[in-house]
Amino acid sequence: MAFTDQSTRVRDGEELDANLIDPYLKAHIPGLTGLPTISQFPGGASNLTYLLEYPEQEFVLRRPPFGHKAKSAHDMGREFRILNQLRDAFPYCPKAYVHCTDESVMGAEFYVMERVKGIILRAELPPELGFDAARTEALCKSFIDRLVELHRVDYNACGLADLGKPEGYVARQIRGWSDRYEKALTPDAPKWETVKAWLNDKMPADHPTSSIVHNDYRFDNVILDPQNPMQIIGVLDWELTTLGDPLMDLGNSLAYWIEADDPSPVQLMRRQPSHAPGMLTRREFVDYYAERAGIRIDNFDFYYTYGLFRLAGIVQQIYYRFFHGQTQDKRFAQFVQMNKLLEQMSLQVIAKSTL
């Protein structure tokens, strides 16, 4: 199908040398011949994702971005380990083949995983899918069901108990993202002082049951079966995954969830078809998650505002690299405007909140 996710020409400044990568892969993955053709997936603003096409097999290579990187971000070994150890309990993880720590191979750590061919939804639903409102709603609920399923995984049984420290997670996230935001501040960026103070004041206790936290669960990180687009067959981008409060993970997803009646400046920021007829609203999303997870969520405003602030922190870290000339990717030039819009959205939530 033409609307399955396609790789394109590698962006300037982000090229890989097949002659350097090929010997390493052949030493670790048997049966490969020839040199791989390398292209790049256009999505994503953090780790870089490439398609390696050998005659026998296709792989996806992930490496950190060029330029300044936050201290704890872009841990290739961590993502590689999560994919392999979580796969039995959560079968939507692609199989990871090899993790290279020798930076002399390509100037950075990287790992290689299987390519899961399928449909990745971007800003709009492809009309070729023929989704009416009922099918769209069913897909939306399936998307939320997978998040609930992930949050129910026994991370001890997967050998991932050392992935993070669930105790004190909420406070640590507010403190940590405040610190990371300050370190990535540029002269043209908003300060977020009112929002940070509100988050500190309204901070709830950790949810009593900790879980695996994906930290970037949204529609353009899931893969749909090309033969049955109602079925999710893959979940991508595990680089930020940790252990913590599942409701904070819900807040992360809500930050990306732009509704049909959100104002036009907000619609310009949308990266998934959450506005399509049949998609749940943010409130319905929370209610459905709570029903499926069997829990109560009384402070929706806090988790949503946290998600917006955290997203602004990620956006600002990326913009910092552009501002200082560490990346030439022109997509990032307007990220400071996105940051400002996220602050305004957060202030509007706070103004209406009953917390």
Backbone angles phi, psi at 121, to 5 degrees: -80, 130
Domain match, 146 and 195 both:
yes
Partner residues linked to 119 by β-bridges: 224
Domain match, 48 and 166 both:
no
* Nearest C-alpha neighbor of 5 from the set 89, 79, 94, 71: 94
355 residues of the chain, pLDDT tens digit each: 456 778 999 998 899 999 999 999 999 999 999 999 999 998 765 789 999 999 999 999 999 988 645 445 568 999 999 999 999 999 999 999 999 999 999 999 999 999 999 999 999 999 999 999 999 999 999 999 999 999 999 999 999 999 999 999 999 999 999 999 999 999 999 999 999 999 999 999 999 999 999 999 999 999 999 999 999 999 999 988 999 999 999 999 999 999 999 999 999 999 999 999 999 999 999 999 999 999 999 899 999 999 999 999 999 999 999 999 988 889 999 999 999 999 999 999 999 999 9
All residues at 6 or more sequence positions from 225 whose CB lies less than 8 Å from its CB, including other chains = 118, 119, 231, 232, 233
Domain match, 28 and 55 both:
yes
Domain match, 69 and 152 both:
no
Q: Considering the domain boundaries, does residue 1 fall inside one?
A: no
Domain match, 66 and 159 both:
no
Q: Considering the domain boundaries, does residue 120 fall inside one?
A: no
Residue finishing a domain among 114, 145, 167: 114
Q: Considering the domain boundaries, does residue 122 fall inside one?
A: no
Q: Considering the domain boundaries, does residue 189 fall inside one?
A: yes
Q: How far apart are CA 121 and CA 105, in angstroms?
A: 33
Residue finishing a domain among 80, 114, 148: 114
Q: Considering the domain boundaries, does residue 119 fall inside one?
A: no
All residues at 6 or more sequence positions from 288 whose CB lies less than 8 Å from its CB, including other chains = 141, 144, 280
Q: How far apart are CA 46 and CA 74, in angstroms?
A: 8
The CATH number assigned to the domain holding 221 equals: 3.90.1200.10
Domain match, 245 and 314 both:
yes
Q: Considering the domain boundaries, does residue 158 fall inside one?
A: yes
The CATH number assigned to the domain holding 44 equals: 3.30.200.20
Q: Considering the domain boundaries, does residue 68 fall inside one?
A: yes
Query: Using alpha carbons only, how large is the chain's radius of gyration in Å?
Result: 20
Structural domain total, the chain: 2
Domain match, 213 and 313 both:
yes
Domain match, 159 and 299 both:
yes
Residue finishing a domain among 75, 90, 114: 114
| Domain membership of residue 64 as a residue range | 18-114
Domain match, 203 and 131 both:
yes
All residues at 6 or more sequence positions from 136 whose CB lies less than 8 Å from its CB, including other chains = 125, 273, 276, 277, 278, 279
Domain match, 318 and 284 both:
yes
Domain match, 200 and 305 both:
yes
Q: How far apart are CA 164 and CA 145, in angstroms?
A: 23
Domain match, 59 and 153 both:
no
Q: How far apart are CA 82 and CA 87, in angstroms?
A: 8
Q: Considering the domain boundaries, does residue 245 fall inside one?
A: yes
* Nearest C-alpha neighbor of 247 from the set 147, 342, 353: 147
- Count of C-beta atoms within a 10 Å radius of residue 85: 18
